[in-house]
Structure 1
Amino acid sequence: MERGRLTKKERHELILSEVRRSASIRISKLARRIGVAGETIRRDLIELGEAGLLNRTYGGATISLVTSEPAISERGLTMVEERARIGRGAAGLIEKGQIVMIDGGSTTYEVARNLSQLARNLTVITNSTGVASVTGANPTFRVILCPGTYDSREGSVLGEDTVEFVRRYNADIAIIGASGLTVDGPNDMITGAAAVKRAMISRALSTMLVVTNDKFGRASLERVCALGDIADIVTDDEPQVELRAAIEEAGTELHVFAGN
């Protein structure tokens, strides 16, 4: 069937869908499926590859997939300046007296650390022992730590008890991190962590995603939500063109706190 009238964005979505379905696929097969010339597909694959959304191979492509992630203690040693800028920027967007849910992660910890230096009279609900500890040092904060099964690699509690506990509360904002961010939305390598993020999103009036630029274009095991479910993305650098366009189309506000 001839599909040459598709827009570039529609072609890209179809290509990504086909690559995900097949894990890897040839240019010739993509051209037949989508109904355009092989050269058009080749150009599309170059753009998608530059955006980090797939890996180009000789004559085709494979999906770019994150299959593992270092422990939080190891992640805390990388992208230090970038996470510090994100932490300061995100903390500045939180208003006094708000109820804030914060999930576990090295970047969300930086947000919590910066929040703890401000007298904001916040109520903080978290599944992270690190976030609870650093925010609990602020006497104007009320900190509620979720129950659950402790994951030492993540420094957080996870599981059904955690999710059910989160669902008891209402919040003004949920601050979440992610293993990766693509045009499909934020994703996470750990199923239990993704479940907690979704629970927080469902109970908050607004959601803020905090991610360093190395997460752009990375796809991992589980999709957390759509870009349209995120009100604000706070990061340290501009996303690739394809991802930036998807963020704008979703109506999500992008806050970039870049270095000098």
Structure 2
Amino acid sequence: MSRRKDARQKTILDRLAIAPTLRVGQLARDSDVTTETIRRDLEELAARGLIARTYGGAMMRQPMEPALAERHKSLVAERAAIAAEAVALMSDARVVMLGSGATTTQLAQRMACQMSDLTVIAHSLSIAAALASNPSIRIIMAPGVYHAGEGAMHGAQTVRFLSDYAADWAVTGASALSPLGPSDARIEAGDVYATMLRQCARTMVIADHSKFDRIATARYADWREIDHLATDAAPRGPLAQALDAAGVKVRLARLG
């Protein structure tokens, strides 16, 4: 790949991380190349699985979200290290709202080992099971419509229930992290996470590097609503710039 093409395609990816969709004509004018050249760029990026082609343009490819049982098997060391970094930040917490997911389940396991005299408000059965090994942790389960693949409660009843509580911390996972904010592949989960963030004094997203520079269906927060991002690699480019502009403290996990 020529340097000019490489730079042009990187620019396309950086712009798609900020704007969900782009048009061929605008990209051609901005890059000072023909529309045919841009179409070839987009086809190559689509063939590499980085973007999805639309009529007359492109959009960032939506991440596929496997069932929770499958996500537990991947990036295990990275998720465990992120959980260790996150639990260190919450040492003074007394009430925590905890979202569902593989990384938050790792966090719950770490909390059960290292924290005590704590109340956790959760909507995930795997979170509750992980915390139950510590009898000093009080678990409050949110009601709602059960999602079997995620092992969690979602829906209007869940949101109303959470709205009646306040907590020291809200900790959520994410399917994707873009300069626009964290997002989830499931709209119902996004509604739950947005509610948790509104009800808590401090907020944290925990997610591994595979979520960087992606956009999922339901953006549940702007980065200005997030205090901390605990992750396993340093974000770069537009994502790093957005985090810095919003004042998000990036906490890097120690691997190995």
TM-score range, shorter chain: 0.7 to 0.9
Partner of 1:164: 160
Q: Where do 1:1-260 residues align within 5 Å?
A: 15-16=15-16, 20-21=20-21, 25-26=23-24, 28-32=25-29, 37-38=32-33, 55=51, 62-66=58-62, 68-260=64-256
Q: Which amino acid aligns with 1:189?
A: A
Q: Which runs of 5+ in 1 are unaligned?
A: 1-10
CA 1:168–1:238 in structure 2 vs 1: closer, same or farther (change >3 Å)? same
TM-aligned CA deviation for residue 37 of structure 1: 3.8
Q: Deviations over 1:194-246 (max 9, x none)?
A: 00000101101111000011000111111111111110000011112321121
CA 1:56–1:151 in structure 2 vs 1: closer, same or farther (change >3 Å)? closer
TM-score, normalization: structure 2?
0.82
CA 1:12–1:121 in structure 2 vs 1: closer, same or farther (change >3 Å)? farther
Counterpart contact for 2:78–2:232, Cα < 8 Å = yes
Equivalences, count: 235
Q: Which stretches of structure 1, 4 residues or more, deviate above 4 A after TM superposition?
A: 11-15
Q: Which amino acid aligns with 2:126?
A: G
- The whole-number CA distance in structure 1 between the counterparts of 2:245 and 2:255 is 26
Counterpart contact for 2:100–2:152, Cα < 8 Å = yes
Partner of 1:3: none
Counterpart contact for 2:204–2:229, Cα < 8 Å = yes
TM-aligned CA deviation for residue 136 of structure 1: 2.2
TM-score, normalization: structure 1?
0.81
Q: Secondary structure at the match of 2:216?
A: coil
CA 1:243–1:122 in structure 2 vs 1: closer, same or farther (change >3 Å)? same
Counterpart contact for 2:163–2:199, Cα < 8 Å = yes
RMSD: 2.9
- The whole-number CA distance in structure 1 between the counterparts of 2:17 and 2:189 is 25
Q: Which amino acid aligns with 1:138?
A: N
- The whole-number CA distance in structure 1 between the counterparts of 2:86 and 2:117 is 16
